[in-house]
Amino acid sequence: MNKYGSTALVINCGSSSVKFAILDPKDGHTYLSGIAEALGLDEARISWRFEDQDKEKASLGAGAGHDRALEFLVKNIMSQNEELHDSIVSCGHRIVQGGDIYSEPTLIDDEVVANIAKVIPFAPLHNPAHILGIESARKNFPNIPHVAVFDTAFHQTMPPKAYRYAIPETYYTDLHLRKYGAHGTSHMYIAQETAKFLNKPLEETNVITCHLGNGASVSAVKGGKCMDPLAGLVMGTRCGCIDASVVFFLCDRLKMTPEQVKDVFNKESGMLALSGISSDMRPIEEGYIKGEPKCVLAFDIYAYRLAKFIASYYVPLGHVDAISFAGGIGENSDIIRKLTCDLLKEPFGLEIDDELNSKFMGFKGNGSGKISTESSKSAIFMIQTNEELMIARSAMKFVK
């Protein structure tokens, strides 16, 4: 008998990277984790770690792509532990955009790949990379089921009043232009873990889930189903929600092309633009603590925008059992959590416990927990999200 039992390989392909992990879908124990970076460039490289062993790294060769990265995983990394390789019985692929085609994890075949290609316009950076990863993985792991787990699938339960835009109907019917949501796999996990902390069935909980990282989104989850997702927050380099007329103003006044405006809004805005120093929250937080004006303003805007969106989700939910913070920022910035919840204290009776808030921090490795006072009208949690585990469990459902 294989000592690892049955494991799942999880693959997350970005435009120039491949994250991978092999884990036990039952308890989430990770046996191997790693990332290939700078793909397509001269410095293409890969690093990995078996459980608690020291990290190893290697060059993939100038210009190496996704195929070379996964080939290296099979022939060079997995060859160090053939028993672990043999334990893999399924492979789950994170797919950012499934459009309105997919509402659940789906066994990958040629038709699924073609449909992922159809919705590339909604995720032009991510979906092409996902297809490369799928093709490479199917070639290198030909004898196991490959499963697409869509970030947008969890949000397919929202009603038309939440996903339709107030624009001509033909844009929706012909172009499928609507709200789709982001980070759905993470929001699903956060909602499930929050229900466990509340000691209530998921079907009886109303939760606002906040996935806060370099990319960020918030979802209203009622009875385990998404009612309304949002991706309009201030992010690392993205501006978030903005008046559409700003686009025309920049094109008219500065003679910018729409492509140039898109680059500014996606790559030069957000916390990078506000702080003037970085898109990474850590140095901005240091500046906030020191009282540097731009960093203080950046944090104030981030928390204010987040608090406003959380407040708006009391409408679709009616009542809120809990608000949960997750993601790199949500798990590691007690300042953002406190600033946000303090803005919600007077209108909604939220009270954060300063001691618990500083205790539950992702980088401290002490897990997830409640960070609100007993008198808070809604519970507040820090939840360490685990998208890989959700993807692995979804992939295992297709193992016969």
- Report the DSSP pairing between strands 206-212 and 216-222: antiparallel
CA angle at 387 for the pair 386 and 389, rounded to the nearest 5°: 70
And the tokens for 288?
């906030």
* Cα dihedral: 190, 34, 152, 184 (round 10): 10
Closest among 203, 190, 185 to 392, alpha carbons compared: 185
**Which residues, 6 or more positions from 109, have their beta carbon under 8 angstroms from its beta carbon?**
none
Distance, CA of 346 to chain centre: 30
Q: In what order do the strands lie in the sheet with 18-23?
A: 56-59, 45-50, 30-37, 18-23, 7-13, 88-95, 146-150, 106-107
Active site members: 151
Residue type at 288? Y
